[in-house]
Amino acid sequence: MAMLIRNASEILTMKRGLSILKNASVLVENGKIRKVGQIKSDKARNVVDANGCVVCPGLVDSHTHLVYGGSREDEFAMRVTGVKYEKIAKAGGGIASTVRMTHQASEDILYKSAMKRLKNLVKHGTTTVEIKSGYGLSPAEEIKTLRVIKRLKKDSELDIVPTYLVHTIPDQMKRRDYIDLVIEEIIPKVARAKLADFCDIFCDKIAFTRRESEKVLLSAKKYGFGLKIHADQFADIHGAYLAAKLKCASADHLEYSTKGAIRAMKKAGVVPTLLPGATLFLQFKKKPNVRTYKKLYCHPALASDYNPGSCMIYSMPKIIALACIVYGMHVEDALLGATKYGARALCLFNRIGSIETGKQADFVIFNVDNYKKIPYYFGEDIVRYTIKKGRIIYGKNS
Ligand SMILES: [Zn+2]
């Protein structure tokens, strides 16, 4: 059935910059955008009144760790008193503790808890989400998580992009042996079962070296995976340069990345992905230099990095606000980062991320009359409707 989103105060089309249309409407047919602009209403259509509202492309969260067991509030309580994340990780906390709790959870338990989280995402306007594995480590446990993601993908209204993440080295295993296991067993198995679109690795001083990361990603490339990398979050070990060298779809975190690395990413077409929720949650002083990105026209995506250790925020409107508050990002750039550039980071911009004829009819309709109020109303839930492929999946149409 056709849908008419009528008379919005602002439609952020994201064609060039925000490209705002005022007092405009969107016509949807068969789950796709048919027309944007001045459209006469037709009684037969399903009409959504957007009077006084901002219509934005559905939000794209291009980096999450949404499937996990347990929780880590004790660690949080320690960290706020000044204990460093690296120290907690070395003492068996951090990722290792979520690995233990994820191993203990059955596929059904992981599925149910993640589905609940996905339903919350929808309330905050997310229509496309990437989900990483990475709390399994062993071949069987990584595949278990990826199978859960596959089930979520089948059952959820959202578009879900699965990623196999090489996250950390299991206890009692030598680095070299684990890299071999990843390359010789896990990557081929995941590829054969078609369980992931991307392969990602945590390249940092507390995780894998640049050389190890390169080896793993090159092998993933041979199996046809798109590439992503967690880079330069705790130190500059040239992870962003590696992303440029391997032409990764995205490099994520980037607190320590230098101007030279940003230039290299721009040249190679890598989408830098910034995660202000994690910067805030970990109380990092070091932040990505958003001014340099702007100066070099290297446009960052924004994502939540939702995970049990370093960011429990899944609301993308809050992430947009945090990019402005924590990084000093311009409001316009933050909105673009959560839509258009998020879609680019997932290689999906031909289908989602902007409001243009022929694209998928994914929208979030905010209960505010201009876009600057989206981050400004930080403490309020301002999502009125979430619409996926032309169907309201959150909010009541009265
Ligand atoms: Zn992450």
At 188-242, the pLDDT tens digits run 999 999 999 999 999 999 899 999 999 999 999 999 999 999 999 999 999 999 9
Q: What pLDDT is recorded for position 1?
A: 74
- This prediction's pTM: 0.97
For ligand 1, the distance from its centroid to the CA atom of residue 358, given in whole angstroms, is 32
| Domain 59-345, CATH class in plain words | alpha beta
Instruction: Using pLDDT thresholds of 50, 70 and 90, give the confidence band for residue 396.
Output: confident
For ligand 1, the distance from its centroid to the CA atom of residue 254, given in whole angstroms, is 11
For ligand 1, the distance from its centroid to the CA atom of residue 63, given in whole angstroms, is 6
User: How do residues 344-389 score in pLDDT, each as one tens digit?
Assistant: 999 999 999 999 999 999 999 999 999 999 999 999 999 999 999 9
**16: number of CA atoms within 13 Å, CB side?**
0
Cβ–Cβ under 8 Å, residues 199 and 220: yes
Percentage, residues of the chain above pLDDT 90: 91
Domain with CATH 2.30.40.10 in the chain: 3-57+354-394
For ligand 1, the distance from its centroid to the CA atom of residue 101, given in whole angstroms, is 18
Q: Is the pLDDT of residue 31 over 60?
A: yes
For ligand 1, the distance from its centroid to the CA atom of residue 133, given in whole angstroms, is 10
Instruction: Using pLDDT thresholds of 50, 70 and 90, give the confidence band for residue 398.
Output: low
For tokens 């030279």, name the residue: 260
Summarize the confidence of residues 274-283 as an average pLDDT. Answer: 95
Summarize the confidence of residues 283-301 as an average pLDDT. Answer: 96
Q: Superfamily assignment of 3-57+354-394 in CATH? A: Urease, subunit C, domain 1 (2.30.40.10)
Q: What pLDDT is recorded for position 154?
A: 98
Instruction: Using pLDDT thresholds of 50, 70 and 90, give the confidence band for residue 43.
Output: low
For ligand 1, the distance from its centroid to the CA atom of residue 85, given in whole angstroms, is 14
For ligand 1, the distance from its centroid to the CA atom of residue 43, given in whole angstroms, is 47
For ligand 1, the distance from its centroid to the CA atom of residue 144, given in whole angstroms, is 19
Gyration radius from the chain CA atoms: 21
Picking from 255, 189, 190, 198, the residue whose alpha carbon sits closest to that of residue 221 is 198
User: In sequence order, what are the beta bridge partners of 45?
Assistant: none
Q: What pLDDT is recorded for position 395?
A: 95
Domain with CATH 3.20.20.140 in the chain: 59-345
For ligand 1, the distance from its centroid to the CA atom of residue 309, given in whole angstroms, is 10
For ligand 1, the distance from its centroid to the CA atom of residue 175, given in whole angstroms, is 20
For ligand 1, the distance from its centroid to the CA atom of residue 69, given in whole angstroms, is 16
Read off the DSSP letter of residue 16.
S
For ligand 1, the distance from its centroid to the CA atom of residue 342, given in whole angstroms, is 14
